[in-house]
Amino acid sequence: MNFDLSQFYQVFFEEAGEHLASMESLLLALDVADPDMDELNAIFRAAHSIKGGAGTFGFTDMTEVTHILETLLDKLRKQEMQLTTEMVDAFLQAGDAISMQLASHRGEGEVDQQVIREICEKLEQLTGAPVAAVKETQVASESTSTKKTKKKAEKESAPEQEDYGFFDPLPSECVADEGYGFFGDAPNETASADDGYGFFTEVIAPVAAPVAEAAAAPAMIANAAHPTRRASDKVAASSAETSIRVSVEKVDQLINLVGELVITQAMLAQSASTLDVAALEQLQNGLNQLERNTRDIQESIMSVRMLPISFVFSRFPRVVRDVAGKLNKQVELKTLGESTELDKALIEKIADPLTHLIRNSLDHGIESPDKRIAAGKSAHGTITLNAFHQGGSIVIEVADDGGGLNRGKILGKAKERGLPVSDSMSDEAVWMLIFEAGFSTADVVTDVSGRGVGMDVVKRNIAEMGGRVELSSAEGHGTRTTIRLPLTLAILDGMSVAVGGQTFILPLGSIVESLQITDEELKTVSGDGRLLRVRGEYLPLIALHEVFAISNAITEPKQGIAVIVEAEGKKTALLVDELLGQHQVVIKSLESNFRKVPGMSGATIMGDGTVALILDVLALSSHHVAGLAKAA
């Protein structure tokens, strides 16, 4: 049997990424003056594990960097050297370099060899070991690996010798240094029996594999050690983007619910086969049970897609440290609600907007230490990241205790750019001006911010996720940005409405109220547009039958129903024929199944098998306002 080791690449990539993330978080938490030995040991073990896994798959470029890194970490944990800030910086840069190499092996980019050389030289200088000695160690390691492969090949040619393990016992010269396991996670200087130096512990047991499979193992090792062997095939790269680690409890719950669903289905089939008047009640009970089980299984399946937001929050301590150092500011990051769960699709999309907000807080929000002291504050600024559930949404807050937004400066910049503003605007309206494209109050353009790109991207990206962003600020006390998002992009609570013979879905979270229209409430603007007066507030009225050119629909506003919807703080009235009902719908992408349709955010399949389009409230409102402006 020709055994291909590449099937295990993805496992290595995931675990190496976890080890790198663990290293970074531990390094950022280290007290340079008095480092915790347990934390240093944990950092060493993470580097050692990456080195062992990389060696197994023949990724020698990664083993070279991790070997030098491991050497320096070993001296620190043995207290042969004193930890310095320069070392922590070098360790973080080494982690970035290893991440670059890891991405290259996944087929997701190229390695900048100059960066690798520079970090290796920096680590070698800090270690105090001459470059030649390090290179000799690496050559010796590779030579030992080659001897090991040859030794296994000799065993393959000797059929009378049975060897049921994947690997021979390690030679003594390899035990302390190489980490030839799948992921060598050795906490001590010498490897113990359970250090993970076999491929998998379960497979090494003498009864775990037949002779034929043991004979194929040398070919597997040779493939792994071959320098031209790479994991850049598209299968590995694509799986990296789609895999999710799921807890056993969630899977067990899903399996139990599937069993209940099958039982209920059997009950319905039995009832239908002998249907009579007496069986109608039994059939109805079965349908009710099926509905409950379907809802439960739907929620359980969605929970498998949910991940803690700590996956996003964990990247920001490094961002804060690097940017604050560049700006010569002292900033502490606090995170709350890290266990709050969010759909994986949203996890991936929210990272960039949050990064923009964090960088803006660092550059524009938090003052320099001398300014903070002059204002009676602590020299250390604080940025707080908080996430929590509220109703059917998740709320993410980014708050800082900096100088806050300057109302006068924002209004001045807006007037310079010709934006329609006035001094009587509310604070909330003034704050939202910073989300205009190209808007910036920075006096000096830097590589951190000031080009007017970022905040408009934040608003647009959040709107595309079905969320909204709010700002609150107090001059001299700080700024708080609040993001509200749906829990998932796959299921929507909606209201179905009828327009002519068509059915549309309105997101329930966008609906404020619905009402019947009277003549006194309806006003005409310039003979073209119509406004609806609701409790003293004038709202634009959009007739959906006109937007989508639907015949046989109610054209007289007072005969239909106005549904008041809100998007980005702006209310709009939609004219429909009738309200059909409220229910959950499974969102299907129009772009992937058909094409992008203006005014639609997706589609769903109704209970009778028909397709209903899901309305994009923000797009409809924006298009209508633009149409009125053009007509005027």
Q: Compute how many other C-beta atoms are within 10 angstroms of the C-beta atom of residue 112.
A: 12
* Claim to verify: residue 496 and residue 529 sit in the same structural domain: yes
| Residues 562 and 514 sit within 8 Å (Cβ to Cβ) | yes
Distance of CA 142 to the CA centre of its chain: 38
* Claim to verify: residue 95 and residue 188 sit in the same structural domain: yes
Which two structure tokens, joined as six digits, stand for 99?
Answer: 């991440």
Q: Specify the pLDDT at position 292.
A: 80
**Where do we find the tokens 């007739």?**
543
Residue 473 located in a structural domain = yes
β-strands 537-543, 529-534 pairing:
antiparallel
Please check the confidence at residue 381 and state whether its pLDDT lies above 80. Answer: yes
Where is pLDDT greater, at 627 or 219?
Answer: 627
Residue 235 located in a structural domain = no
Residue 230 located in a structural domain = no
* Claim to verify: residue 548 and residue 451 sit in the same structural domain: no
* Claim to verify: residue 514 and residue 605 sit in the same structural domain: yes
Phi-psi region of 549 (alpha: psi -120 to 50; beta: other; left: phi over 0): left
Q: Specify the pLDDT at position 443.
A: 58
* Claim to verify: residue 55 and residue 132 sit in the same structural domain: yes
State pLDDT tens for residues 277-332: 667 777 778 777 887 887 788 777 777 878 889 889 988 998 898 889 889 999 99
Q: Specify the pLDDT at position 373.
A: 93
Distance of CA 466 to the CA centre of its chain: 16
Residue 466 located in a structural domain = yes
Residue in 569, 570, 579, 389 with CA at minimum distance from that of residue 494: 579
User: Could you write out the DSSP letters of every residue in 250-270?
Assistant: HHHHHHHHHHHHHHHHHHHHH
* Claim to verify: residue 476 and residue 522 sit in the same structural domain: no
Q: Average pLDDT over the chain, rounded to whole?
A: 75
| Residues 483 and 467 sit within 8 Å (Cβ to Cβ) | yes
Between CA 26 and CA 30, with CA 28 as vertex, the angle to 5 degrees is 70
State pLDDT tens for residues 501-545: 899 999 888 889 999 988 888 887 765 678 888 888 888 889 999
In which element (H, E) is residue 221 found?
helix 211-225
* Claim to verify: residue 480 and residue 497 sit in the same structural domain: no
**Where do we find the tokens 């209004």?**
411
Rg (CA), the chain: 31
Q: Specify the pLDDT at position 386.
A: 95
* Phi, then psi, of 194 in degrees rounded to 5: -110, 30
Where is pLDDT greater, at 503 or 222?
Answer: 503
Q: Specify the pLDDT at position 136.
A: 39
Q: Considering all CA atoms of the chain, what is the largest pairwise distance in Å, rounded to the nearest integer?
A: 99
State pLDDT tens for residues 603-613: 888 877 788 89
Please check the confidence at residue 175 and state whether its pLDDT lies above 80. Answer: no
Residue 332 located in a structural domain = yes
Please check the confidence at residue 133 and state whether its pLDDT lies above 60. Answer: no
* Claim to verify: residue 207 and residue 291 sit in the same structural domain: no
Average pLDDT (380-395) is: 87
| Residues 360 and 455 sit within 8 Å (Cβ to Cβ) | yes
* Phi, then psi, of 523 in degrees rounded to 5: -125, 150
* Claim to verify: residue 362 and residue 292 sit in the same structural domain: no
Residue 231 located in a structural domain = no
| Residues 321 and 85 sit within 8 Å (Cβ to Cβ) | no
Please check the confidence at residue 584 and state whether its pLDDT lies above 90. Answer: no
Given CA atoms 572, 575, 578, 583 in this order, what sign does their dihedral have?
negative
Average pLDDT (60-86) is: 88
Is residue 227 packed enough to be buried (19+ CB in 10 Å), middle (13-18) or exposed (0-12)?
Answer: exposed
In sequence order, what are the beta bridge partners of 556?
none
Q: Lowest mean pLDDT: which of 324-333, 352-361, 486-495, 506-515?
A: 486-495
β-strands 511-516, 561-567 pairing:
antiparallel
Q: Specify the pLDDT at position 139.
A: 39
- The domain that holds 314 is classified in CATH as 3.30.565.10
**Where do we find the tokens 């094409």?**
595
Which two structure tokens, joined as six digits, stand for 19?
Answer: 């080890």
Average pLDDT (487-505) is: 85
Residue 403 located in a structural domain = yes
Average pLDDT (93-122) is: 89
Is residue 213 packed enough to be buried (19+ CB in 10 Å), middle (13-18) or exposed (0-12)?
Answer: middle
Please check the confidence at residue 240 and state whether its pLDDT lies above 60. Answer: no
pLDDT above 90: percentage of residues in the chain: 12
Domain that holds residue 559: 491-631
- The domain that holds 524 is classified in CATH as 2.40.50.180
Counting the structural domains of the chain, the total is: 4
In which element (H, E) is residue 539 found?
strand 537-543
Which two structure tokens, joined as six digits, stand for 437?
Answer: 């494209």
Please check the confidence at residue 176 and state whether its pLDDT lies above 50. Answer: no
Q: Specify the pLDDT at position 243.
A: 64
Q: Specify the pLDDT at position 463.
A: 82
State pLDDT tens for residues 141-156: 343 344 444 444 444 4
State pLDDT tens for residues 197-211: 333 333 333 333 333
Average pLDDT (582-601) is: 79
Query: Of 260, 280, 304, which closes a domain?
Result: 304
Average pLDDT (16-43) is: 88
* Claim to verify: residue 191 and residue 298 sit in the same structural domain: no
Query: Of 436, 457, 486, which closes a domain?
Result: 486
The model's confidence at residue 52, banded by pLDDT at 50, 70 and 90, is: confident
479: amino acid identity, one letter: T
Where is pLDDT greater, at 543 or 7?
Answer: 543
What is the per-residue burial (b if ≥16 Cβ within 10 Å, else e) of 323-351? bbeebebebebebebeebbbbbebbebbe
Between CA 226 and CA 237, with CA 232 as vertex, the angle to 5 degrees is 140
The model's confidence at residue 479, banded by pLDDT at 50, 70 and 90, is: very high
Average pLDDT (248-267) is: 74
The model's confidence at residue 173, banded by pLDDT at 50, 70 and 90, is: very low
Which two structure tokens, joined as six digits, stand for 294?
Answer: 């379907």
β-strands 478-486, 491-499 pairing:
unpaired
User: Could you write out the DSSP letters of every residue in 310-372?
Assistant: HHHHTTHHHHHHHHHHHHT--EEEEEE-TT-EEEHHHHHHHHHHHHHHHHHIIIIISPPHHHH
* Claim to verify: residue 327 and residue 407 sit in the same structural domain: yes
Q: Specify the pLDDT at position 623.
A: 64
Where is pLDDT greater, at 290 or 229?
Answer: 290
Query: Of 286, 304, 322, which closes a domain?
Result: 304
Distance of alpha carbon 457 from alpha carbon 448, whole angstroms: 15
Residue 385 located in a structural domain = yes
β-strands 468-474, 511-516 pairing:
unpaired
Phi-psi region of 360 (alpha: psi -120 to 50; beta: other; left: phi over 0): alpha
Please check the confidence at residue 238 and state whether its pLDDT lies above 80. Answer: no
Distance of alpha carbon 172 from alpha carbon 17, whole angstroms: 30
Please check the confidence at residue 449 and state whether its pLDDT lies above 80. Answer: no
Q: Compute how many other C-beta atoms are within 10 angstroms of the C-beta atom of residue 247.
A: 10
* Phi, then psi, of 611 in degrees rounded to 5: -95, 130
* Claim to verify: residue 380 and residue 344 sit in the same structural domain: yes
Q: Specify the pLDDT at position 396.
A: 94
